[in-house]
């Protein structure tokens, strides 16, 4: 089938209304993108062309830009171009050349697309690129998510040439006298993709001549399998993961009986930054004692009785504040405490989130801090019976990850209130109380 018909087939199969489309083409000046531009020109689909000059190959880069600019002028096509100081950005960002160029390229292209009301941005990725991507992901061990290859449509980014091989594009370029320039960096195997293209694929093709076609057929099946896999994982997530505020609770007993266990554990915890290498440790955590923790870069999983609890890492904010006068406001992270005198109160509210205290017995400064081992107080209503804060929190069945965020208010090293829980009996209001401190 002629390449032009296959190109039109992409739009028909995707149910695109080509009459309403405005496409921005990313054109480097190489064969792939110049063939894409030629196919768009012959199709009648409205389009413009955008070119990035990364200034990495001197006159060669400038020649690429001039070719694309001239082609657009000859064919009355809108042309956009930009020049990047790529090497300066590499130093600034601390990234490799290809990653730096990719970020610069796509950020600018998306900006041009939005500013000029283009429906989609089109790149010239083709069937060989797709096969290379599949092999690289397979070798890297990215799992099933890496086996769908390059998606033909991803948001406003489209790749209309994915069903076309490089050989077919070469034939089209020759037959239609498409002008293009060879990028000298494509012949260097110091980049991974080039190494796969130049050294690995030719060896495999000796044994499997239809490699590119077969891999692309497999990509289609892998994408369908991934869809089923994703739906299954999402069903497991709905059954097992319960969100409570900012934290996520996963019942250990239910999780342990799921199969295949390692796959489900990995998929449940991967969104929180946990790697495949941590999966065996997460499985082991299920049978560990309460209090054991495994961390990713930004989350923790805590074993607490019958749950694995996923929570954010502890912040580095201050763990102690000193109050020397009232009224006062103290931000302790999860809440803001307001401290003030109020002698008009005529009843004591039944609210653990508020402390109503006998100010006559309080000495300044007040210290507001995280509780620590060894702390004790005399819980209100227990008849001056001394109790360690640690035991109080255990009896209240406060989850481990919440215990570490429990604050206390103390005066002269005596705890007045465990914030959000209970005040100390020694600081309760009395009948002759004439001065009241409210903390809420």
pLDDT digit string (tens) for 280-324? 999 999 998 888 889 998 899 999 889 999 988 766 556 789 999
Query: What would the mean pLDDT of 78-98 be, rounded to a whole number?
Result: 93
Query: What would the mean pLDDT of 384-405 be, rounded to a whole number?
Result: 88
pLDDT tens, residue by residue, 252-262: 999 999 999 99
Quote the pLDDT of residue 125: 96
Torsion of CA 390, 393, 394, 396, to 10 degrees: 160
Burial of 404 (0-12, 13-18, 19+ CB in 10 A): middle
Quote the pLDDT of residue 105: 96
Quote the pLDDT of residue 440: 87
Query: What would the mean pLDDT of 101-106 be, rounded to a whole number?
Result: 95
Residues of the chain with CATH 3.40.50.620: 3-222
Say yes or no to pLDDT of 219 above 80.
Answer: yes
320 has which bridge partners?
A: 369
How far apart, in whole angstroms, are the C-alpha atoms of residue 154 and residue 143? 20
Quote the pLDDT of residue 383: 82
Please state the separation of Cα 166 from the chain's center in Å. 34
249 has which bridge partners?
A: 242, 309
Q: How would you list the strands of the sheet with 247-251, edge to edge? A: 242-244, 247-251, 307-312, 299-304, 293-295
Regarding pTM above 0.85, the answer is no
49 has which bridge partners?
A: 25, 79
Confidence of residue 160 (pLDDT cuts 50, 70, 90): very high
Confidence of residue 1 (pLDDT cuts 50, 70, 90): low
Class of domain 3-222: alpha beta
Residues of the chain with CATH 3.30.465: 242-312
Confidence of residue 80 (pLDDT cuts 50, 70, 90): very high
Please report how many Cα atoms fall inside a 13 Å half-sphere around the Cα of residue 281, on the Cβ side.
14
Q: State the CB neighbour count (10 A cutoff) for residue 118.
A: 23
How far apart, in whole angstroms, are the C-alpha atoms of residue 439 and residue 419? 9
Say yes or no to pLDDT of 72 above 60.
Answer: yes
Query: What would the mean pLDDT of 24-48 be, rounded to a whole number?
Result: 96
Say yes or no to pLDDT of 346 above 70.
Answer: no
Residues of the chain with CATH 3.50.40.10: 320-439
Lowest mean pLDDT across 162-176, 264-278, 320-334: 320-334
Asked if the 320-439 domain carries CATH number 3.50.40.10, the reply is: yes
- What is 242-312's CATH number, 3.30.465, 3.40.50, 1.10.3470, 3.30.160? 3.30.465
What's the 3-state SS for 330-371?
A: EECCCCEEEEEECCCCCCCCCCCCCEEEEHHHCCCCEEEEEC
Quote the pLDDT of residue 296: 92
Summary mean pLDDT of the chain: 91
User: What share of the chain in percent tops pLDDT 70?
Assistant: 98
Say yes or no to pLDDT of 148 above 70.
Answer: yes
Cα–Cα nearest to 360, from 320, 416, 321, 407: 416
Q: Are 424 and 379 in contact (CB under 8 A)?
A: yes
- Angle (CA) 144-146-267 rounded to 5° is 50
Helix %, strand %, coil % of the chain (to 5): 45, 20, 35
Say yes or no to pLDDT of 226 above 60.
Answer: yes
Residues 6+ apart with CB under 8 A from 38: 172, 173, 176, 178
């Amino acid at each position: 089938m002629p390449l032009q018909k296959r190109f039109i087939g992409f739009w028909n199969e995707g149910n695109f209304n080509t009459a309403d489309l405005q496409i921005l083409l990313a054109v480097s000046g190489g064969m792939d993108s110049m063939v894409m531009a030629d196919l768009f020109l012959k199709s009648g689909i409205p389009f413009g062309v955008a070119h990035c000059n990364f200034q990495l190959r001197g006159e060669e880069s400038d020649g690429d830009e001039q070719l694309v600019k001239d082609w657009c002028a000859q064919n009355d096509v809108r042309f956009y171009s930009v020049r990047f100081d790529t090497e300066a950005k590499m130093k600034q960002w601390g990234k490799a050349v290809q990653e730096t160029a990719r970020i610069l390229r796509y950020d600018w292209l998306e900006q041009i697309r939005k500013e000029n009301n283009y429906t989609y941005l089109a790149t010239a990725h083709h069937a060989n690129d797709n096969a290379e991507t599949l092999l690289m992901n397979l070798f890297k061990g990215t799992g099933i998510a890496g086996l769908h290859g390059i998606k033909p449509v991803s948001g406003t980014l489209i790749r209309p040439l994915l069903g076309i091989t490089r050989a077919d594009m070469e034939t089209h370029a020759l037959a239609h006298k498409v002008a293009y320039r060879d990028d000298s960096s494509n012949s260097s195997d110091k980049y991974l993709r080039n190494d796969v293209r130049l050294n690995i694929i030719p060896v495999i093709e000796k044994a499997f001549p239809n490699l590119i076609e077969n891999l692309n057929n497999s990509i289609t099946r892998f994408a369908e399998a991934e869809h089923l896999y994703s739906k299954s994982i999402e069903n497991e997530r709905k059954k097992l993961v319960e969100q409570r505020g900012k934290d996520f609770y996963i019942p250990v007993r239910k999780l342990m009986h799921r199969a295949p266990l390692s796959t489900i554990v990995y998929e449940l915890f991967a969104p929180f930054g946990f790697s495949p290498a941590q999966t065996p440790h997460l499985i082991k955590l299920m049978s560990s004692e309460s209090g054991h923790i495994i961390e990713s870069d930004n989350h923790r999983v805590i074993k607490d009785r019958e749950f694995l609890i996923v929570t954010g890492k502890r912040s580095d904010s201050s763990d102690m504040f000193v109050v020397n006068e009232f009224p006062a406001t103290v931000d302790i992270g999860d809440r803001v405490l307001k401290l003030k005198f109020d002698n008009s109160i005529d009843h004591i509210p039944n609210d653990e989130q508020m402390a109503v205290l006998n100010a006559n017995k309080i000495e300044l400064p007040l210290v507001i801090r995280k509780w620590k081992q060894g702390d004790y107080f005399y819980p209100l209503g227990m008849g001056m019976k001394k109790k360690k804060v640690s035991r109080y929190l255990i009896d209240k069945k406060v989850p481990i990850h919440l215990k570490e965020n429990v604050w206390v208010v103390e005066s002269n090293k005596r705890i007045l209130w465990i914030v959000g829980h209970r005040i100390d009996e020694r600081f309760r209001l009395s009948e002759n109380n004439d001065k009241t401190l409210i903390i809420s």
